[in-house]
Structure 1
Amino acid sequence: MATASDRNVSQRQRVAYLERIVRQYVGDVDLNLESLKALSQTPETDQKHEVSMAQADDCESSVSETSVGVNETCDILPLENGNIAHYSGEFSHWNFSQRIRKYMDILPKEQTQDSVSSWKDFYRTDELQSPTAATTALSSLPPRLIANFLLRCFLKHAQTNYFYVEETWVEDKLELCYTKPDVLSRGDVGIVCILFAILAIGTQYAYIESDREDNGYTGPDTDISSFTEDAVGVMFYQQASRLLPEVLALGSLECVQACLLIAVYLLPIDAAGLSYSYLNIAINVSIQNGMHRRYSRDDLDTRVREIRNRVWWTTYTIERRISIFHGRPMSIRPVDVDADMPSEQSHICPWTTITVPCILATLRLNEFLRKVWNEIDLLKGAPKHKAIMRRLTSLHGDLVAWWSDLSTDLLLQEESSQPERYSLQLKLEYCLVRMFCGRCFIFQHDATGATPEQHSAISPSAASDVTHPRSVLVRDCVKAAFEAIETCRHIHNTIGLARASYTEFSSCRAALLIITTQCLQTKCHTFRYALRDGLSMLKHMASGSRLAHVEASLVDRFEQVIARLDQAATMDKKGPSDYDKFKEWETEWRTDSVFVSTDSPRVFQGLSADKGAVLIDQISPDQSDELGSSSEPQLYASGDVAFFPEGPDDWTTFFGADFLMQLDDGIRGNRRD
C-alpha cells in the first residue's frame, strides 16, 4: 500500500509532466496560478489566440521582482555533408523566424499544412559563381613531379605547430586534379585554391631541401632578389587570389582553409597588412559556417567535426597573434567562442606531420598570450595598477609552471643534433610570450617622466627590490630574449632557419629589440655578442623579403649606434692612447711634408720661421742640387716615394761625396776600440 510520502512524490511528478505538456502547446511561460486560471477559462476556439496575451501578462507581473529570462540558442544547420553549414546566432532574424515556424507547427495541420510545405530555405547564393573557374585554373599547375616536391616541402616545414590541411586528403585531391580534372565542379573551387596556396608556400621552403651546404644562402649581404623561386611562388599566389571571389561566394570549410593558407603565405611578406586581411576573411567565413561554436547535433560526421575544430582554432590563434604583435583589433571576442578544442584521439582524424600535444601546447601558449595582452591593455587607463600587476605576475608564474610540467617528449628535441622543427618553434613561442610579458616595462621613464640617464639607474639588473613585479617581469623578459637567440642559433646550426617561418623570424627580431635596450643601459660583452650573433641570423632570414630586410636593417642601425656609443664612451674614459697621438702626428706630417705640392710656402714641421726654417718655395736652383739630383722626390720602381736611397751612389748623392769614406773610418775605429 502506498504511503503518504509516495503519493506526494507521484503527485509532484504528475504536475511536472502536465507542465511540460502545457509548455509544448503554449510556449515557455511561467505556469503560476494566474496563468493557469486564464488558460482554463479561455474558450477552446480562442485558446490559441489568447496564449500570447497570457504570456505577456505573466511576464509583466513578474518583471518587477526578477529579470526576464530569454531562452535563445544559436542554430547550425549542416549542408552538403558538412562541408558547408548555415549558422545563425542568437537573437537574429533567422532565429526569430524559426521560432515562429516552430510555434506554427503546433497549430492544427489543416490550417498550416499548405503554407509550411511551400516554404523554401535559402542559405547560399550560386548565381555569382563561374561554372568553369576551377577547371580553368588547373592549366597553371606545374608538372606532377614539381607539385609533389612542393607539397612535401609544405608538409615537412610549414605545417608544424598548426593544422592547415589533412595530409592524405590533400594528396588525394592533388591526384584528382592531375588524373580526373573533368570531375571537378564549381563546388570544388576551394580545393583548387588550397592547392595553389600550398604550392606557393612550398616555394618559400624549397631552398631548405637543397643539397648545397649553404642552402642557397651566400652570406649576410645576400641580395633580396637572390631567391629566384620566389617569382614562381608569386605566380601560384596570384592564381589562388584570382579564385577568391568564387571562394567567398561558396563559403565552405575548404574555402576557410584556402583563405587561411593564403594568409600563411603572406606572413613573411606582409604580416600586418595583406596577411591580416586574409586572416580576417578566413575568420568571417568560419563564422558564416558556425565553426566558432560548439556543434551539439548528431547529424555531422565525426571526422568533419574534428576538421572544423582544428581549422577554426588554427585560424583564430594565428589571427590573435598577428593582432597582438602588430597592434591590430581582434575580429571576434573570446566570449563568443565556445568551439571544442581539437581531440587527442588520433583515430578520429590521423595526425601526421604534427603531433597532438604540440598543437594543443601551441594553442595553450597563445591563450596565455591573450590573457597577458588583456591585462597589459587594462594598464592604459586603470587607476589600480597594483591589482593588475599582481594578476599579470600570477599569469607569468602560471605560464612558467605550465611549461615546466610540459611533456619531456616535446622538450628533448632542444639539444638533439637533428631536432624536429615543431619542438624548437614551440620553445620560440614560449619565449615570445615571456618577452611580451615584460618588454613594455623596460622603458619605465616613458611613464614616470625620467630621462634615459635616470632610467639607467633603475634598470632591472640594478633594481633594489628584485621581487617587485616589474623587476620580475623585465628580468625574465631579458632571459627569454637570450633563450630565443640560443634556440635560433641551434636551429641555424642543425636543420637551418626557415626564412618563411613567421615564428622564427619574429622571435629573433623581438629578442634583438630587447637585447638592444639592454645594450643601451649596460656595457656588457654578453649583450653585444648576442646582438651581433642574432643580427647575423636575422639578416639570413630576411634575404628574399623586402619587408623583412627593412626590419633587419632597423636592428642593424641600432647595433651601429650602440657601437659608436661604446667607442665614444671608451675614448671619454681613457683619453687618446700614445698610438692615437702618433697617428695624429702622422696625419699632420703627411699634410706638411715636402712631397705634398702646395701653392703657398710651407715650413718643415718642428722648425719655426724665425729660426732659419727653410721655406720650400724659397730654395734656389743651386741649393736644390745639394738636396739631390732633382727638385722632384725620388721614386722606387713601385712608384712609392723614396724616403731613403737604394744604392751606394744614391747615398753619396744624398749625404755628400765624403759620406762613405767617413762611414768606413767610423766602423774601423769602433772595431779597434
Structure 2
Amino acid sequence: MWPRFLSRLRETFSLDSDVAQGEQLMALVQTHAVRTPTLQPAELQRLRQAVDAFPPRPIADFLLSVCIDHGTDAFFYFNQAQFLAEVDEFYTNPTSRLRRDCSFVCLAHAAFALGSQWTTLAKPDGSRSNLNTDDSDPGRIFYNQARSLIPDVIDFPGLRSVQAPFVLGVYLLPASAIGSSYIYLGLALRKALAMDLHLNTDELNLSEEEKEIRRRVWWSIYSLERSSTVKLNRPRSINTSIITVSLPKPCPPLDNIQRFNNIEHQIADARLMMILDKVAEPLEWSATQSLPIQLESDLKAWKRSLPASLKLQNMLPQSPCYRATFHLYSNYYFSWIAMGKVSVVTVVKARLRHHFRRESQPPQLGEHIGVLANSCIKAAKKMLLLFEDLRRTAGILERDANYERQVAFGLDCLSKMAEGNVAAKMGVSFVEALQSIADEAVDKLSETETFSNSPRSRMPLSTSDYNSWLNWLSQQNTSSNKTTQVPSQSNPVDTLLPTPTAGPWPTAQLTTAGLTTWDGVAALQQLSVPPMETTNLDQGNQPPSYGSQNIYPDFTAPLYNDDQTFLMGLTGFDVLGFTDGQDGGF
C-alpha cells in the first residue's frame, strides 16, 4: 500500500512520481512480506504434530484428487497445479521450507479434510468396499490438525493464510457445523480484507496471473460467505460499495493448468451473489418501486447470460461440473424466493384476515406485491422440480442402500396413510408403477456394456486407490476420532460455538425401512420446525411504499423488522434449528 499511497499523494500535490523512492519502498515491502514469523516453542510443537500427521503419499494424492474433482464446486481455493507441486515438494524434500510453513500445512490438512468428505463419489465401478456409515466424519482426522494451527495462521502473511480458513469453512458446511463454518468464512473474509484483496491493485511486483488468483480467491470467499450469511439470517458482513476489484475473468495461462477448470462457474456465481446481496436487504429497496423491478430484470438477465456449457439441461448428471451448475440454479431460485417471501406472507395474511372477517373489505395490495408473490411461488416450484429431477436421476443412474431405504420408507408411509381412501390408494399404485419403471430402466442400463456411471476421463481412480484410503482410515485410532467430534475448547474459534447436537427429530425411526406402526402425529412432529415465539403482526411502524402509493397494509411492516426470523424460517438454514443454539446438517 505504501508505494501506491505515496504515489497518489505526490499526484495530489502536482509532483512528479519518484520512481527511485517507489522501488525502494517496494523492495522493503517485499522483504517484510516474505519474512516468516519466528515460531514459539508451543507453535513449533503444534506444527510438528501436524506435519507428522500427514497421510502417506498415495493417500494424500487420492484425497487431493477428490477435493479438486468433487469438492471445488463453483469456487477457487488455490492454483491447483502450484499447490500439487508444493505437496510433491513437501513429500520428496525433507528439508523443504514448506515443512516450517504453518499456513501451507494448515491448508493441506484442510484440503485433505474436504476431499475425505467426497471419497464415496470417487469409488470406482465394481468396488464393493465402502465407508462404514456408523463411523464419524473421516475428515475430522485432518480438520483437528488444521484447526490447531489456525491461531498461528492468523498471524502469518501471504495468501495461504486466507485460503486455509476458507477451505475449512467449506469443509464444515456439510459437516453438521454451520455455526463453525460461519466463523471460519468470516475469518477468511477478514484476512482477505486485511490483504486488500477486495481492491484493484497496481502492484508492479505481481504478475497478471497472480492478480487473477487474488481476484478469484476474493470473489470465492465473498460469494460463499454472502450466500451463507443470507441463509443464516446474519447481518451483512461488508457493503459491496467498498469492493473495487473486478470480477474473475478467463486467463488461459492459468486456466489451462487447472485440473478442474470452473472459471465460468466462478464468474456466474460472483455475479449472482452481487444480485442476492441487494435482494437480501429489503429495507434498502422496499420503499421504492424501481429497484425491485431492476432486481427482477437483473435476475432474468443473469439466467439468459449463462453460456451453453452452464445450461443444466445440456449437462449429464455424471459430469464433473454438474454439482456446481446445480448449485448455481438452486441459488438463482433462492434469490427469487428471498425477494418475494415478504409479498407472499403479505398476500396470504391479508386474504386470511378478510376470509375470517377481520377485515370488512377485500385487501387492497399494490400490483407489484402480487407480481413478487407469484414470482416467489413460481421459483419455489422450480426449486422443488430441480430437486425432484436430481432425485429421479440419482435413482436411475446411481443407487445404494440409502436410496433403497428411503424409497421403502416413503412407500410404507404412503401406504399406511392411504388406508381407507380409494383415491389415495390409487396414488400409491401410481408411485409404485413409477418405481417399477425405474427398476426396469436400471436393469436395462446394467445390461448395456457401454454404460458407465463415471465418465471422468481427467484422472481415473483405480480401485486400489480407493481401497488404500479405506485401509488407511481403518488403521487410525477409532476411539480417538470419536472423542474429537466435539470441538476442543482450547481453540479460540471453537470456544465461541455451541456444541453440535443431534437434529431436531429422532433418528431411530428414520433409519428403518418402514414404521411398524403408523403414527401420523409423530411423523409430522419429526419433520416440523422447532417452535418459535409468536409475534404480534398487528403492531409496527408505517408500511413501506413504492413511491407515494401505500402498497402494504399496516400489519405487514414488522415483517421487514422484528420478524425476520420467522421469514427466514421459510427459506433459510434456521428452519433446521440453528437459532436454537445447535449446529444442524447441511
TM-score interval (norm. to shorter) = 0.5 to 0.7
Work out whether residues 344 and 376 of structure 2, in 8 Å CA contact, stay in contact via their aligned partners in 1. no
Q: Secondary structure at the match of 2:378?
A: helix
2: CA distance, partners of 1:412 / 1:439: 25
Name the residue aligned to 1:327.
Answer: 233
Amino acid at match of 2:504: V
Name the residue aligned to 2:337.
Answer: 435
Within the candidate set 284, 294, 317, 2:190 is matched to: 284
Work out whether residues 303 and 348 of structure 1, in 8 Å CA contact, stay in contact via their aligned partners in 2. yes
CA gap of 1:229–1:176, structure 2 versus 1, over 3 A, is: farther
CA offsets per residue over residues 306-359 of structure 1, 9 Å max, x none? 111111111111111122111222332212211122121222443441332221
Matched, 1:205 2:125: no
CA gap of 1:302–1:135, structure 2 versus 1, over 3 A, is: farther
Q: Secondary structure at the match of 2:200?
A: coil
Report deviation, 1:362: 0.9
Name the residue aligned to 1:418.
Answer: 318
Report deviation, 1:226: 2.7
1: CA distance, partners of 2:527 / 2:154: 52
Within the candidate set 126, 131, 153, 2:37 is matched to: 126
2: CA distance, partners of 1:563 / 1:127: 53
Matched, 1:239 2:135: no
Name the residue aligned to 2:471.
Answer: none
Name the residue aligned to 1:479.
Answer: 378
Name the residue aligned to 2:301.
Answer: 401
Amino acid at match of 1:473: L
Name the residue aligned to 1:193.
Answer: 106
2: CA distance, partners of 1:359 / 1:106: 37
Name the residue aligned to 1:637.
Answer: none
1: CA distance, partners of 2:127 / 2:207: 47
Name the residue aligned to 2:504.
Answer: 550
1:261-272 pair list within 5 angstroms: 261-269=167-175, 272=178
Work out whether residues 161 and 354 of structure 1, in 8 Å CA contact, stay in contact via their aligned partners in 2. no
RMSD: 4.8
2: CA distance, partners of 1:404 / 1:273: 35
CA gap of 1:106–1:155, structure 2 versus 1, over 3 A, is: closer
1:94-493 pair list within 5 angstroms: 126-127=37-38, 130=43, 133-185=46-98, 188-210=101-123, 226-228=133-135, 230=137, 232-269=138-175, 272-350=178-256, 351-374=258-281, 376-378=282-284, 385=287, 387=288, 389-413=289-313, 416=316, 418-419=318-319, 420-444=322-346, 451=353, 454=356, 468-493=367-392
CA offsets per residue over residues 74-130 of structure 1, 9 Å max, x none? x267xxxxxxxxxx9x8xxxx79x98xx999999xxxxxxxx9xx999677824554
Work out whether residues 365 and 430 of structure 1, in 8 Å CA contact, stay in contact via their aligned partners in 2. yes
Report deviation, 1:445: 7.0
1:40-51 pair list within 5 angstroms: none
Unaligned 5+ runs, structure 2: 19-24, 397-422, 432-484, 487-499, 511-519, 529-586
Work out whether residues 350 and 363 of structure 2, in 8 Å CA contact, stay in contact via their aligned partners in 1. no
Report deviation, 1:409: 2.0
Report deviation, 1:187: 5.8
Report deviation, 1:162: 0.9
So what's the TM-score if we normalise by structure 1? 0.51
Work out whether residues 445 and 455 of structure 1, in 8 Å CA contact, stay in contact via their aligned partners in 2. no
2: CA distance, partners of 1:268 / 1:478: 27
Tell me the percent identity: 25
Amino acid at match of 1:203: S
Report deviation, 1:397: 2.7
1: CA distance, partners of 2:527 / 2:205: 66
CA offsets per residue over residues 455-490 of structure 1, 9 Å max, x none? 999xxxx9998x922222222222222222222233
Amino acid at match of 1:157: H
Report deviation, 1:377: 2.8
2: CA distance, partners of 1:562 / 1:277: 29
Amino acid at match of 1:398: D
Higher relative contact order (CA 8 A, sep 6+): 2
Q: Across the two proteins, how many residue pairs are aligned to each other?
A: 406
Report deviation, 1:365: 0.9
2: CA distance, partners of 1:360 / 1:255: 23
Unaligned 5+ runs, structure 1: 1-74, 78-87, 108-115, 219-224, 498-523, 533-543, 565-673
CA offsets per residue over residues 128-151 of structure 1, 9 Å max, x none? 554565454221122222222221
2: CA distance, partners of 1:190 / 1:366: 28
CA gap of 1:491–1:154, structure 2 versus 1, over 3 A, is: farther
Amino acid at match of 1:400: K
2: CA distance, partners of 1:416 / 1:245: 43
Larger radius of gyration: 1
Q: Secondary structure at the match of 1:269?
A: coil
Work out whether residues 418 and 494 of structure 1, in 8 Å CA contact, stay in contact via their aligned partners in 2. no
Report deviation, 1:200: 0.8
Amino acid at match of 2:329: K
Amino acid at match of 2:269: T
Work out whether residues 200 and 244 of structure 2, in 8 Å CA contact, stay in contact via their aligned partners in 1. yes
Amino acid at match of 1:550: P
Work out whether residues 212 and 251 of structure 2, in 8 Å CA contact, stay in contact via their aligned partners in 1. no
Amino acid at match of 1:477: C
CA gap of 1:452–1:277, structure 2 versus 1, over 3 A, is: farther
Amino acid at match of 1:560: L
